Amino acid sequence: MKKSGLIKVGTILGLVFLSAILFFIFEKSWQDLFFDESKPTAHFYRDSSVPISDINLKVFYVVPANRTANILSNWREVIENNLAKVSAFHVLQFRGLSRLTYDIYPEIVILKNNEDIYNSKANGGTVIISIAEELSRRVFTPSGDLYNADSVPSGENKYAVLGLVYEGENFTVFNGGIVKPASAKESVHDFSLLSGVPESIIFKADLEKIKGFFLIGRDNLINSPTAIGSTQLYEIIAHTFGLPDAINSVGVPLSDDLMGLGRVKPIENNYLSRKTLKDLGVLSDL
Amino acid sequence: MVNIFQKFKNALSVRGRLHRKVMIMMLLTSVLPIIFLGFLALVSLNTAHRIDVADIESNLINQKTEEIKTFLKGALNMLELRVTFPQVTDIEIGQQHYLLGQLLAENTAFNEISFVSLNGRETSKQGRLSLKNLADLSRLQKFLEAKAGKNYISPVYFTLSGPMITIAAPVKNSNNVIISVLTAELDLKGLEKIINKSILGNAGYLYLIDQDGFLVVWSEKNNTPPTYAADLRQIGFTNQLIQGESFLGADKQARYRSFFGKQVVGAGEFLSDFNLGVVAEWPVSDADNIIATVRNQIIVVSLIVLILTLLFSLFLAGQIVSPIKTLESSAELIAAGKFEHPVQISTHDEIEDLGRAFNKMMEGLKRLEELKNEFVFIAAHEIRTPVTAIKGYISMVVDKSAGKLDEETSRFLGEVKKASDRLNNLVNDLLQIARSEAGRLEIKVTPTEVTEPVKAVLAELKVLADEKSISLVYEPRALPKVLADPARLKEVLVNLVGNAIKYTLGAGAVTISQEIIGKEIITHVADTGIGIPLGAQQKLFEKFYRVPDERTREITGTGLGLFIVKEIIERMNGRIWVESESEKGSVFSFGLPIVSIDKTD
């Protein structure tokens, strides 16, 4: 190609290129794209070192030896309905940053003792410990008579919680909290001072791989007069990741949410307050 | 039409520096403004469109903001009860129940509502769910603020039933003294109607976010239904919006990929009094639908105009430069002494006038040339007679026909005779050139043998060659006849062989060879002389040109011989050229057309 032809082609291409550059710059300024991919992580109450983005409940229907005649025929359905509600509630409150899954042990666990043995310890708050320890020995250890490998908490990334639905006549106790090793030197009081979690929801028990546990009477789930069984269930589940009650010592609510005034409301109308969510890492700032 | 097309084609085919200059100048003065204006048009269009989109979104948000405020303030106003009695005491329980029932009936957004006495205890409660427990609210913010005389609006919270807020207001007596507090939970799904009634193009939509950037209510226009409390904090301007920054107006609107997966133009406003943000998102594909069409049209039209301008620039530059090139060609012809080709320029402007003036100048030059030729012819013709006489008489004197001469006189007369011979040659050459240029050179082309003239010329010049110990080599071969004037052909050969002998300094050889190439017989006259420099070869056939060389200064010559040779050869429809290398000799070649059978007949 001759020199003049090259100059013409070059001029045309140059102009087109110049136009394209100008247009690109213009379009770029028109497109104001900005994204922030960072996401917060849900964690244990006021402790960001313990993630709770995946909470797994190992739930058992436990029946004292003398209460087998009272076993609910639809026990699984009752438990599952309530767990489904609390699971949905949990995901909603945590804005999807934490999920609450559950595995219901397929068999009814008949306890070794009669209810009076367990109930007699109820006022001392140790009924949950004694049942949980018995369950752990029988179900989670290979030498146990009910050992089931699938039911043993295994996932390192999961926050494992042991749930007990207790078959007891007029038994309306519901309790739960975090589990510390029974062999630990620190007392419950020491743990409370260290973590800021109230003593009432700290338990020392021999339960391997279990971060927290709860116990609720099956009457709470089916016979609650104001249909607040699921609310109570979630309240004690919340204790397992350190969430304290929002009521004072004489029972006056300190907050409007489920941990306070909301505990007497159905779960459908309940929520966790922004302050609570901040303590759990869901909200970064208020 | 064909003429125009041809004109266009010719204009486009013109090349040269002036053409480039004109074209670049035109590009600078036309294409750049087109590009600039096109770009400016696009910028203006986009800016105007951006402002329009922002205005539409802002107006919609402002309208919806007012509706949302009306909804929430209306609910709050319903709680601001004022009783007619002056006592500072709770309303009678039965009346409380009645009032609560009325409020629930009037506003379906109330989910739960209760009277709270000034000590913080709920005195009555009604709701859409089964609620029986009356609680102590004395430590709760909603009670404390309402008791202090302020209306309370909680942050948005999410329940399985939907997003809600809690509101509370003081209940006052006829003396405007607070006697109790009314609290209520307000279901925000009531805002869905307000949001759904929005129209933003074909695909635009609105949604509400709470104080933390979570989705509260969204328009049904979203094809992908999200969930309540979906986290929008990482999307677009949500983080700035919930901190109270307004995103209304062209300066603030943003483009980003929305939570719903579409590229959108977004605008928003946060209602800090109600802990709600209103966001409008308009899919770019819909918002820019019209502008994209117009923009594409502008780009296409600009490109077409650009290309046409480029072509027009080429054409116009060609049109301007073409007649100048014509004038240049004609000037070169005139320089070569050819006056038979007047320039043809029809541009109907000053250049056409210039062309006419040029033609007049050419006619004048032609006339001058004719006069000069006439003068040279007459002068040469008139001079030849006395010169011939002088030459004859001097020859007689030198030959001592007029008596004996002493040695000195004889030497002097010898020099006079040489000068006379040179003058005679010059006059003859000038006369021949004048004849030729005046068209009086007679050439009678006939079928002619090409070997005989060579033999004759070699025989004629042998004496001259022998004097310089130059051998003349020629091997005649059977060749067809050529169309030539035998006398003129001999004249050509004498000139070329004579030159070869003349410019071979010392002993050497002059070789004549002939060959048939195509329809011509080519005769080569090769010598072993001093050769001709390349620069001189190009001027060798011009009039009066002699190769400047110290060694040939003494060799006589007029500088007209090769010009005459060339004239004769070309008049016989032949051609002549030279190939030479300094110090190695030269080869002069000329070709003459072979006689065809028809012509022979």
- Interval B534-546: pLDDT, tens: 888 888 888 888 8
Q: How does pLDDT run across B240-273, given as a tens digit for each residue? A: 898 888 899 888 888 888 888 888 999 999 999 9
Count of pairs with CB atoms under 8 A, one residue in A, one in B: 133
Domain at A85, CATH number: 3.40.390
Nearest to B589 by CA among B532, B542, B491, B521: B521
Q: How many residues does chain A have?
A: 286
> Whole-prediction pTM value?
0.65
Q: Per the CB < 8 Å rule, is B159 touching A30?
A: no
Q: Per the CB < 8 Å rule, is A92 touching B212?
A: no
pLDDT reading at B373 higher than 80: no
Residue for token digits 């179900």?
Answer: A139
* A178 located within any domain: yes
E strands, B118-204, are: 122-127, 152-153, 157-159, 162-172, 178-187
* A87 located within any domain: yes
Instruction: Give dist(CA B143, CA B137) in Å, integer.
Output: 6
Instruction: Give dist(CA B167, CA B164) in Å, integer.
Output: 10
DSSP result, A112-145: SS-HHHHHTTTTTT-HHHHHHHHHIIIIISTTST
Q: Give the one of B16, B159, B212 whose C-beta lies nearest to A271's C-beta.
A: B159
Mean pLDDT, range A257-285, rounded to an integer: 92
Nearest to B248 by CA among B51, B44, B49: B51
* A100 located within any domain: yes
Distances in Å between the alpha carbon of B206 and those of A81, A101, B58, B253, B266? 35, 34, 12, 14, 10
* A79 located within any domain: yes
Nearest to B210 by CA among B163, B160, B255, B140: B163
Confidence label for B40 from pLDDT (cuts 50, 70 and 90): confident
- Contacting residues for B386 by C-beta, under 8 A, at least 6 apart: none
* A63 located within any domain: yes
Q: Per the CB < 8 Å rule, is A26 touching B46?
A: yes
Distances in Å between the alpha carbon of B112 and those of B79, B125, B168, B275, B485? 12, 7, 12, 20, 133
Residues of chain A with Cβ-Cβ distance to B43 below 8 Å are 26
Instruction: Give dist(CA B492, CA B494) in Å, integer.
Output: 5
Residues of chain B with Cβ-Cβ distance to A275 below 8 Å are none
List of domains in chain B: 80-191 (3.30.450.20), 341-440 (1.10.287.130), 442-600 (3.30.565.10)
pLDDT reading at B171 higher than 90: yes
CB B576 within 8 A of CB B588: yes
A249 touches chain B (CB under 8 A): no
* A286 located within any domain: no
* A30 located within any domain: no
CB A90 within 8 A of CB A48: no
Question: Sign of the CA dihedral B517, B521, B527, B532?
Answer: negative
CB B163 within 8 A of CB B188: yes
* A9 located within any domain: no
Instruction: Give dist(CA A193, CA B574) in Å, integer.
Output: 124
Q: How does pLDDT run across B126-159, given as a tens digit for each residue? A: 988 766 678 999 999 999 999 999 999 999 999 9
Q: Is B249 helix (H, G, I), strand (E, B) or coil?
A: coil
- Confidence (pLDDT) at A232: 92
| CB atoms near residue B364 (< 10 Å) | 11
Q: Residue B410, Cα to own-chain centre: how many angstroms?
A: 82
**Comparing B10 with B170, which gets the higher pLDDT?**
B170
CB B555 within 8 A of CB B542: no
CB B81 within 8 A of CB B173: no
Residues 5-44, chain A, touching B (beta carbon < 8 A): 7-8, 11-12, 15, 18-19, 22-23, 26, 30-39
A149 touches chain B (CB under 8 A): no
How many domains is chain A partitioned into structurally? Answer: 1
| CB atoms near residue A127 (< 10 Å) | 23
Q: How does pLDDT run across B428-442, given as a tens digit for each residue? A: 878 777 777 767 778
Confidence label for B185 from pLDDT (cuts 50, 70 and 90): very high
Confidence label for B516 from pLDDT (cuts 50, 70 and 90): very high
Distances in Å between the alpha carbon of B559 and those of B535, B537, B541? 16, 13, 9
CA distance from start to end of chain A: 71
Q: Per the CB < 8 Å rule, is B158 touching A92?
A: yes
A247 touches chain B (CB under 8 A): no
pLDDT reading at B411 higher than 90: no
Instruction: Give dist(CA B281, CA B61) in Å, integer.
Output: 10
Q: State both tokens at A178.
A: 């975090």
Range of the domain at A158: 43-279
Q: Per the CB < 8 Å rule, is B234 touching A37?
A: yes
The residue of chain B nearest to residue A257, with distances taken between CA atoms, is B157
Q: Residue A33, Cα to own-chain centre: how many angstroms?
A: 36
Q: Give the one of A22, A256, A274 whose C-beta lies nearest to B166's C-beta.
A: A256
**Comparing B17 with B493, which gets the higher pLDDT?**
B493
Mean pLDDT, range A214-220, rounded to an integer: 89
- Confidence (pLDDT) at B417: 83
Q: Per the CB < 8 Å rule, is A11 touching B154?
A: no
Q: Per the CB < 8 Å rule, is A255 touching B130?
A: no
Q: What is the mean pLDDT of chain A?
A: 85
Confidence label for A30 from pLDDT (cuts 50, 70 and 90): very low
pLDDT reading at A31 higher than 50: no
Highest mean pLDDT among A233-242, B15-24, B41-50: A233-242
Q: What is the mean pLDDT of chain B?
A: 86
- Contacting residues for A224 by C-beta, under 8 A, at least 6 apart: A232
pLDDT reading at B276 higher than 60: yes
Largest CA distance in chain A: 108
